[in-house]
Amino acid sequence: MMIGNNIEELPTSIPSDAYHDKHSSPTFKVHLVIVVRDKDGKVINIHKQRSHSPTANFIQLLLPSSYYNMTGSTITVTNINGSSNPWAFYKGGYTYPNTATNNPSYLVMIQVGSGQQSNPYSSYKLAAPIANGNGSGQLSYSRPSIIPNIIVSGDSASFVISQTFTNVSGATITITEVGVVVNVQNNGAGCGYTQNFGPVLMWYDTLSSPISIPNGGAVTIYYIFTVNP
């Protein structure tokens, strides 16, 4: 069997739906919905935008084990503190809850910031993260949550992660960037290899317009991941 001759003789035909056009729609979309409330709990702003920025960490960590087994390669995971470590499935797997020691890989937070950066792919941290706290320039981070079930609507399905931030700083705070941060740990067979990669930025967006949270108010951020929208 020989493959590859006479490519130039191809009766090539590319169906029209292979091209980008106004009728074309990606099979996967992510939306960012931000709801701002004033000190009385009244909704004062709802911001919606398309989210479009998985980081290199996410794209590479999604690779299947056969990629590593066939190539012998590792990828480099860089956490929000700038520390880098190699990852490969043949060194272990993404930690999973078990009856012994807890080595969690978990959603740390939806992090918000007041900066922006132009290359989300290579971003490993927010440009100017807003710290968790009640001091000047800070927001109080609540615990993030994950919707317990996928929302199905026809052929479409979504899952949602969200987090609320309260502003008790004494002044209005403006956010311009948002990211999803997950703590990543790797466990190997027979405990032969365990690596804590720390908090890793998986998704990053700059906001299409700044969002201001008044003193005493709060903002809830929803990341909505949808297939077949």
Partner 1 sequence: MVASDVAINDDIINLIMPDDTPDELSFRAYIEAKVYDRDGRLINFHRQEMRSLTQYFLALISALLAGTFSPSGGNVAQPLLTSILGLPSTLSNSTNCAGMWWDFAIQVGSGSQPFSVNLNSLAAPIANGSGEGQLLYTGWNATYTQATHYYTISVYNATSSTITVTEIGLVGTIGMICGGCSFSPITFLLSYDTFSSPISIPSNGSAVFVISISFSG
Which residues between 114 and 173 bind partner 1 (CB under 8 A)? Answer: 119-121, 143-153, 155-162, 164, 166
Nearer CB in complex with partner 1: 126/202: 202
Options 45, 58, 116, 127; binder of partner 1; rule CB under 8 A: 58
Strand-pairing partners, residue 224, are: 31, 160
Name the one range near partner 1 by CB under 8 A: 76-84, 97-105, 128-136, 170-178.
97-105
Tell me: does residue 6 bind partner 1 (CB under 8 A).
Answer: yes
Q: Does 105 bind partner 1 (CB under 8 A)?
A: yes
25 binds partner 1 (CB under 8 A): yes
Q: φ, ψ for residue 57 (rounded to 5)? A: -60, -50
- When the beta carbons of 113 and 217 are compared against partner 1, the nearer one is 217
Q: How far is 201 from 197, CA to CA, in rounded Å?
A: 11
Q: How far is CA 164 from CA 11, 20, 124, 156, 170, in A?
A: 56, 37, 22, 26, 18
The tokens describing 169, both together, are 């700083």
Stretch that binds partner 1, among 49-57, 76-84, 125-133, 171-179 (CB under 8 A): 49-57
Is 82 a binding residue for partner 1 by CB under 8 A? The answer is no
- The yes or no reply on residue 5 touching partner 1 (CB under 8 A) is yes
Options 79, 169, 183, 206; binder of partner 1; rule CB under 8 A: 183
Q: In the 8-state DSSP scheme, what is residue 61?
A: H
For residue 204, what are its two tokens? 């990053």
From CA 225, how far away is CA 187, in angstroms rounded?
Answer: 27
- Residue 169 C-beta: closest distance to partner 1, Å: 14
* Sign of the Cα pseudo-torsion (80, 85, 86, 89, in order): negative
Q: Which stretch binds partner 1 (CB under 8 A): 78-86, 90-98, 125-133, 171-179?
A: 90-98
Residue 207 is a binding residue for partner 1 (CB under 8 A): no
Smallest distance, Å, CB 208 to partner 1? 8
Nearest in space to 135 (alpha carbons), one of 88, 107, 173: 173
Judge contact between 183 and 198, C-beta under 8 A.
yes
Query: Quick check: 215 binds partner 1 (CB under 8 A)?
Result: no
Computed on alpha carbons and rounded to an integer, the radius of gyration of the chain in Å comes to 21
Could you say whether residue 188 binds partner 1 (CB under 8 A)?
Answer: yes
Mapped onto helix, strand or coil, the DSSP state of residue 85 is strand
- Determine the interface stretch with partner 1 among 76-84, 94-102, 127-135, 171-179 (rule: CB under 8 A): 94-102
